[in-house]
Chains A and B, each alone.
Chain A
């Protein structure tokens, strides 16, 4: 049976997606690079963000050592 609401929903969906112009950074390679990076952040960005955060946090500890603990003390008093 034909769904008579399909064109209406499709039109609404197209309006929602295209109400804003796609980003153009001026140079083709820059625009492609931007779209590549943001494609990972548009859906479930935590898959990338959480492991990277742990990696950089551990790296920060290896480089700066005690300073990390002092920063955490500062942040814990920050609320």
Chain B
């Protein structure tokens, strides 16, 4: 195996991932449209490695009863199940869909999730809770809610576009698929909460 060629390919994929992360902020529609046609799996590995780094970082800040490796495996199972769910349900309506397309677009739609969780971890480290009813506490609370809502709306936009471009179906069908997915996600999130695996769903 040519090590120089492999490392050049990995560096090129890393640059593409970082570049696309920035483009997802400025032109999410056009960027996700291109991502849904992508074939380079090393980009997926890079993003999963970022997720793995996050779980280890969170474990350092707050020791959990589960190791970060186990939480990462649970995340991977949940993620691929999500991709498979949308792929199977889309195949009923459109035979031209591909599983790869769902994996690529849903992986890139993890970006707002990563930003929120990393940001929340940093806030936990810099300004540990609980927040008080002082002026500073209220101002921070307003800012934190605005930060969370902005990232949630961005995540919903990317998630919707991921399903739309990967399934190549219209607005109503995509909306219906997302509602069906919530029927599975909400009970699972409650279960993860009680098992103390994920307090907030990492999707």
A contact set with B: CB distance below 8 Å = 16-17, 19-21, 23-26, 34, 41-46, 49-50, 53-54, 56-58, 60-61, 66, 68-69, 71-73, 75-79
Contacts and interface: CB of A to CB of B under 8 A. Distances in A.
Given A56-B149, A61-B141, 15 more contacts: A21-B170, A23-B170, A23-B171, A45-B153, A45-B157, A49-B150, A49-B153, A58-B142, A61-B138, A68-B145, A69-B138, A72-B145, A76-B120, A79-B58, A79-B199
Given A75-B200, A77-B199, A57 B145 contact: yes
A69 B135 CA distance: 11
Contacts of A43: 26-27, 29
Interface in B76-108: none
A42 B34 contact: no
Nearest to B139: A61
B148 interface: yes
Given A44-B26, A72-B144, A50 B170 contact: no
A58 B148 CA distance: 13
Interface residues of B, number: 46
Given A20-B164, A42-B27, A43-B26, A50 B146 contact: yes
Task: Please provide the 3 A-B residue pairs with the shortest distance between their CB atoms, ordered closest to farther.
Answer: A42-B29, A78-B200, A57-B146
A72 B145 CA distance: 7
B141 A69 contact: yes
Contacts of B124: 76-77, 79
Nearest to B118: A79
Contact of A75 (B120, B138, B146, B154): B120
Nearest to B198: A78
B172 A25 contact: yes
Contacts of B145: 53, 57, 60, 68, 71-72
A53 B156 CA distance: 14
B140 interface: yes
Contacts of B150: 46, 49-50, 53
A75 B144 contact: yes
A63 B81 CA distance: 40
B199 A78 contact: yes
Given A19-B37, A23-B170, A45 B142 contact: no
Interface stretch (B4-12, B40-48, B125-133, B179-187): B125-133
